[in-house]
Amino acid sequence: MEHKSCKLPFVRLFYILFLSHLVFCQLDYKYYDSTCPNLTRIVRYGVWSAIANDSRMAASLLRLHFHDCFVNGCDASILLDDIGSTFVGEKNALGNRNSARGYEVIDNIKANVEKACPSTVSCSDILTLAARDAVYFAGGSYWTVPLGRRDGRTANKTAANELPSPFESLDTIIAKFNSKGLDIKDVVVLSGAHTIGFAQCFTFKSRLFNFGGSGKPDPELDASFLKGLQSVCPDQVDSDTNLVPLDSVTSTKFDNSYYKNIVNSSGILQSDQVLGTDNRTASMVLNYNKYPFLFLKDFGASMVKMGNIGVLTGQDGEIRKNCKVVN
Ligand code: HEM
């Protein structure tokens, strides 16, 4: 009896290790090497031409991948259209509506991939590769991504409404990352994505005029930077959708100036600036400000982690033919 109960944890451990190994192994760096050898070229060209046409697209594709992975895992659920009253997608969820961009870029790439390798490559793998290439074309680092994700057959607008928001506390944001298997370091590193792209005034306007009901701007904002923001985002509702670069220094370049901005009290979102003052994150901000290559290296590692959230593999999900609709 004693002998049996003593063995049980080992048996369990074996199964846990063995099964988790299997799940992880279903994502594979060479997954499409024989079934779609031109995949990476097709995606890379699609991303390159989209960015050549609109330099903001690098940022938009990167954010699309984040918003996909944080809802139902990286299953391309974000790409599904609403269908009348029968199917509710995520495109109209709070953080996506009039904000997320780049859907048509992925749809075009998918159409080209389908021509070359019909019913073979998932939309979620295409989006993962596109985000990686977008960072590379914006001047960031390059990392290899394991492939073999399958597409979800469902979407979850309610969960998409809960994507991290700039109005939330750092504790809440950290908790949301933790719930996806990401840690505080991933929060700091992945927030560095805000080195490219734009934000609408309403996402930070509460900092500019009457911060927390004080009648004054957020004291964490540099005075001359604040003036610039106030002129693009005057205190009236019709400025809500005006755009400001998240990194005003090098807005299309994927570098570490996001962290420099924070150090200089010029982080746009409150959820960005707080990383410079909270004692759990401030030293990382200083490090990435000082060591640009450390940031680029860590960014790739955190992106691979993010790209593995809740992936569907094996017989789960499907390979959509069109990223907008389930088969
Ligand atoms: C930590 C929590 C995060 C919050 C609260 C947050 C919030 C936001 C907000 C409010 C915007 C502006 C949206 C708009 O005005 O329409 C934005 C833009 C952006 N976010 Fe985040 N974000 C977070 C994390 C991330 C992560 C993890 C990534 C990617 C790895 C990312 C990538 C981007 C990019 C690239 C843009 C610019 C998009 C464009 O110009 O189209 N963000 N984010």
Residue 137 CB–ligand 1 contact under 6 Å: no
Tell whether residue 191 is among the known ligand binding residues: no
Cα–Cα dist 129/43, whole Å = 7
Task: Provide the CATH number for the domain formed by 39-164 in this structure.
Answer: 1.10.520.10
- The closest-lying atom of ligand 1 relative to the alpha carbon of residue 62 is 35
pLDDT confidence of residue 99: 98
Distance between Cα 196 and ligand 1 center (Å) = 9
Strand-pair partners of 83: 87
pLDDT confidence of residue 26: 78
pLDDT confidence of residue 218: 97
Contact 244, 238 (CB under 8 A): no
Cα–Cα dist 194/52, whole Å = 20
Cα–Cα dist 134/233, whole Å = 28
Which residues does 139 contact at the CB level (< 8 Å), separation at least 6?
253, 254, 255
Contact 200, 99 (CB under 8 A): yes
Identify the three-state secondary structure at position 243: strand
Tell whether residue 73 is among the known ligand binding residues: yes
Tell whether residue 164 is among the known ligand binding residues: yes
- The topology under which CATH files domain 170-305 is Peroxidase; domain 2 (1.10.420)
Tell whether residue 217 is among the known ligand binding residues: no
pLDDT confidence of residue 9: 52
Residue 273 CB–ligand 1 contact under 6 Å: no
Residue 198 CB–ligand 1 contact under 6 Å: yes
Residue 60 CB–ligand 1 contact under 6 Å: yes
Nearest to 138, CA basis, from 282, 246, 19, 235: 246
Q: List Cα–Cα distances, 169 to 84, 155, 174, 270, in angstroms.
A: 36, 27, 9, 9
CATH 1.10.520.10 in the chain, residues?
A: 39-164
Residue 62 CB–ligand 1 contact under 6 Å: yes
Measured by CA distance, the residue closest to atom 11 of ligand 1 is 199
Distance between Cα 34 and ligand 1 center (Å) = 35
pLDDT in tens, the chain (327 residues): 334 443 445 445 444 444 444 444 479 999 999 999 999 999 999 999 999 999 999 999 999 999 999 999 999 999 999 999 999 999 999 999 999 999 999 999 999 999 999 999 999 999 999 999 999 999 999 999 999 999 999 999 999 999 999 999 999 999 999 999 999 999 999 999 999 999 999 999 999 999 999 999 999 999 999 999 999 999 999 999 999 999 999 999 999 999 999 999 999 999 999 999 999 999 999 999 999 999 999 999 999 999 999 999 999 999 999 999 999
In order, the DSSP letters of 87-115 are: B--STTSTTTTTT---HHHHHHHHHHHHH
CATH 1.10.420.10 in the chain, residues?
A: 170-305
pLDDT confidence of residue 22: 44
